[in-house]
């Protein structure tokens, strides 16, 4: 599924501009990306998912850095 998304982003750079760090997404988030690709959800909904995931990893990195 990740390879499909990476290929789609490469072929559609404008529509896939916010889709980065696919390796950090879990299965549920990858399904939401596929729903966006198929036009089932809007980009705003997708970006909420991606931004939440990025913030989660930033918090984990900050905690690791503190210890």
The answer to whether 32 and 46 are in contact (CB under 8 A) is yes
Q: What is the pLDDT of residues 12-56, one digit of tens each?
A: 988 888 787 777 788 888 899 999 999 999 989 988 888 888 898
- Place 62 in a pLDDT band, splitting at 50, 70 and 90: very high
pLDDT value of residue 40: 94
Higher pLDDT, 22 or 8: 8
Spell 21-44 as b/e; 16+ CB within 10 A means b: ebeebeeebbebbeebbeeeeeee
Query: Where do the H-state alpha helices sit in 1-67?
Result: 2-11, 27-37, 43-66
What's the pTM?
Answer: 0.75
Of residues 8 and 1, more confidently modeled: 8
């Amino acid at each position: 599924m990740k390879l499909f998304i990476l290929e789609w982003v490469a072929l559609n750079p404008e529509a896939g501009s916010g889709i980065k760090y696919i390796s950090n997404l879990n299965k549920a988030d990858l399904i939401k990306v596929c729903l966006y690709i198929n036009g089932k959800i809007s980009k705003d909904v997708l970006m909420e998912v991606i931004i939440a995931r990025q913030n989660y990893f930033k918090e984990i990195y900050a905690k690791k850095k503190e210890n």
